[in-house]
Every structure is written in structure tokens, then in C-alpha cells.
Amino acid sequence: MPSQDLTNHYLSQDATSLAAELARGEFSAGELLDVALSLVAARNPDINAVVNIQKDTARRHIAGGLLEGPFKGVPFLLKDLGAEAVDFPTSAGSRLWAGSQHSYDSEVYLRLKAAGLVTFGRTTSPELGVGAVTEAQAYGGPTRNPWNIGRTSGGSSGGAGAAVAAGIVPVAHGSDGGGSVRIPAASCGLVGFKPTRARLPEGPGAGEGWAGMATDGFLTRSLRDTAALLDCINGPDLGAPYFPPPMEMTFAESARRDPEQLKIRFATTTLDGTPIHPDCVTAVERTAKLLADLGHDVEPVTLDPGLNISDLMLAWTRVVACGTALSVRQKLAGKPLDPSLIEGVTRGAIALSHTLSGADYLESVEEIHAFGRRIARWFQGFDILLTPTLARPPIEIGALKPDNEDFIDYRNGPTGVFAYSPYTALFNASGQPAVSLPLFHNSEDLPIGLHLAARFGADCQLMSLAGQLERAAPWAATQQRLVDRL
């Protein structure tokens, strides 16, 4: 068993600090792995976030010599979706995929391995990553929010968010196809950054996810960890179908520099004018004042009904339905489907896909791309858009349980995913960089994430602004309060 002193120290540090101490020989990678495994045993039963643990594999990697990357020896978890790795089976959040083995390592995993990280397991995901909550039947129960176990940790990287917020690991892998890094970041009081489309590799198993809307990312407690991890995996892989605009500097360099004065516009409704929870309004107003105090040009945004957000959201739902159906078809490889092995939402996605033609799918992709052009024109009047990440504080377990077989209602209905998360998917569609920062807690001590989006390609500008906010309103002490009481 690891010493209590080492455990307490581990729980008080971000990954950057731990890596520096490992490099100085203050403790070993094996000792930190033992700490992380002991925390899984102690804390995971309450939150159900960590699965598919491969401790012997992790110890073998340590014994064989870790690569000399910036995070050498730091314990790490992959999301149980994507990030294919020979040594780490996945269930993709589904009983249909349970125990699936990969025959190759994804480029993302290879770059994370080159960073020196010690992967020892995976974190929970909703089935095939569809959802703003993580309540897949494959894991025997919902993943819960460490701030309040009656609330969701978000989705689809809900296990990663819960594991990092609980202190099990300082950082974890996630992916974001409609807010799936930023939603759990907001729910769990963490940092979640989605870079510009094509900054990060998708191959070799795929060139894009959901018509270019999906990307990888991380759940972290500190912005510098996010920036350094993004630098570790930055750059498209061979044969990528898209290529991003060049960056002026690294993510880490950007995070350390204050930005120039920016034109920042904020919204205290959804972008089609629908009211949101008062706690989310308060969070935006306080953040807007902070940004003004930092010298930025801050004003309420003038909403543009020409964005046609409802058309975009319906197109998004159709694309995801077709992608979900394709994944199931490829997994079955001609075998009949046992409907009990998949969630109601997945059955609904397949049913919707059967009503759509190839022309319908292409029309939906065209609408997504057209939305990107519309919002790019809108952003010509300002640099940054500030909103809450979600329209409400983290919702109760079961509120978006994935048993609704009406896929359009589950996603687009009045109590569906988009009503709860009306902001994040917009920037997956447009490909713009966006970040959720843990700048506010409500009277129930639930995190309220603040969402900032920049123009396409302006990752450095967005990261610099996030760094300025972290320095002006540090959140580490609030996160530590949770870690210490668990």
C-alpha cells in the first residue's frame, strides 16, 4: 500500500508538477501507479468511473522503460471509446462491444505513450458516445458526479470527468463530438478544451468522426496540463481529410501569455433566445464583469436569428444517427442484432437512420457546413463568445437516461440533450475552438462551467484568454476542497 503522505501529495498536484517531481527522482512511476490504483479501490465504487483496469500492463510498460516525454511516469486513463490501443480493450460503452480487442494502436494513443504517460485503464462513456450523461448499462449503473452523487458527471467523457474531479488521476483522455469534453468539464468543475477541427489526429482507424464534428481532448484540473497535453498530440496524422490553420505558438506558450484586448460578447439566453437557469445567468454576468475588469471590450451579444440553429441541430441528429447505425452494422458484420445488447437511444438512432436516404445524409452534412459559414460571418463582429457551457447546473441521474427510442425527441425535444446543452455542439459543427472553464459554483456547491468560443483557427488566442482567467480567478483551491473531502 502507498504511504498516506505520498497519497496526499499526489492528490494535491497537477500532472505537470508530478512529472517534474518524477524527473527529479522524488518518487517512482511505480509508486504513483500504486497510489492511483489505491484511489480507484477507495473512490471508484461511489462514482463508477474507471473500468477495464490493466494494472499488469501498466507495470509491464514501466518495467520496460517509459518513453522520455513531458509526462513520464504520470498515471493516465483512456476513455472507453476510441483511442484504440492493443493493450487496452474497450466496450465503447456497450454490451455489444464488451471486451473488444484492437489490432492496432491509434495515433492519439501512440502520441500519449510518447509523452511518457502510464495508462492503466479506461473511463466510462455512454454507448458509442451518444449523450450528455454517462449511464450505460454496460457498466452496471450510472457514472456519478463527485460533487453530488445524485447528479450526472456529464457525457460523453463522463467517466474521465468524474475520475479527475475525484483525484484518481490528475488528467484523463476524452473526446468531443458535441460537447463531450466540455460538458463533463462543466459538470465536474474541470478544464475542457476543444481545439479547431483537424488539430488532432483521428487515424488510422478513421479520418473523421460524425462528418468532422468529433475530436479528442482531455479533462484536467489545470489549464497548463490541458495545454501541454494538447501540444503532445497536436497535428493531423497521415492522410487526414482536413488540415488546420497553422498556430503562431504552442498551446503551452499561449496559456502563459495574456491576450491583447479582445472584443468579447456574452449571451444570457441560448443563441435562439430561450431563457436558461438563473445560476447560469449569474455565472455569465460575473465572468463578463471579470473580463471587463481585465481590460476587454465586453458587451451583450446581438442574437442572429439567421443562424437557424434548429436546422443545424436536426442535421446534427441525423448525422449522428447514421454514424451510430454504421458502427453497429460494422460490429455485427452480417450477424443478427440482439436488441437487448444496445440501449434504447441506440435502437432509436438505428430506426431514424432507416428513414434517411443517402441524399438526406448529404443534405444534413451540407447544412452543418452551411452553419459553419453562417457563424463565421457572425463572428466577424467580435473575437470571443461567452456563454455558460450548459443551460442548467448538472442534472439529476436519470433525467436523460438513454432509454428513449425516439432519437429526435431524445436529442431535440423540449427536455432533450440540446435543451440541456444548447451551446457546445454548435462549435463541433463549425469546427471552431471552444473551452469550458470552472469559474463558478452555485449555492448548492455545484459547478457551473463557463464556455468561451473563438474564431476558426484562433486556438492560441482562446488559450491565452483562458490562461488570463485562470490567473485572475484561480480555481485550484475549489477543486482541492472536493478532492480532500472524498
Q: Which tens digits make up the pLDDT trace of 174-219? A: 999 999 999 999 999 999 999 999 999 999 999 998 999 999 999 9
pLDDT at 478: 98
Name the burial class of residue 253, with classes exposed (0-12), middle (13-18) and buried (19+) by CB atoms within 10 angstroms of its CB. Answer: middle
Handedness of CA 257, 258, 259, 265 (dihedral sign): positive
Q: How far apart are the C-alpha atoms of 263 and 244, rounded to whole Å?
A: 24
CB 276 within 8 A of CB 268: yes
Residue-wise pLDDT for 24-83, tens only, equals: 999 999 999 999 999 999 999 999 999 999 999 999 999 999 999 999 999 999 999 999
List the alpha helices (DSSP H) in 156-273.
158-165, 182-188, 223-233, 251-256
- Give the pLDDT confidence of 403-439 residue by residue, as tens digits: 999 999 999 999 999 999 999 999 999 999 999 999 9
pLDDT per position as a tens digit, 239-283: 999 999 999 999 999 999 999 999 999 999 999 999 999 999 999
Ranges of beta strands (E only) in 135-286 are 144-145, 148-152, 171-176, 192-194, 215-220, 263-266
Residue 297's DSSP bridge partners are 263
Q: Per-residue pLDDT for 471 more than 90?
A: yes
CB 195 within 8 A of CB 230: yes
Give the tens place of pLDDT for each residue, 311-348. 999 999 999 999 999 999 999 999 999 999 999 999 99
Binning pLDDT at 50, 70 and 90, where does residue 1 land?
confident
Best CATH choice for the domain 4-485 from the list 3.40.50.510, 3.40.30.10, 3.40.50.300, 3.90.1300.10 = 3.90.1300.10
Would you name the residues annotated as active-site residues?
A: 79, 156, 180
Cell of 195: 481545439
Cβ atoms of 247 and 195 within 8 Å: the answer is no
Pairing of strands 263-266, 297-300: parallel
* Residue 345 confidence (pLDDT): 98
**pTM, two decimal places:** 0.98
Mean pLDDT score of the chain? 97
pLDDT of residue 442: 98
Q: Would you call 426 helix, strand, or coil by DSSP?
A: helix
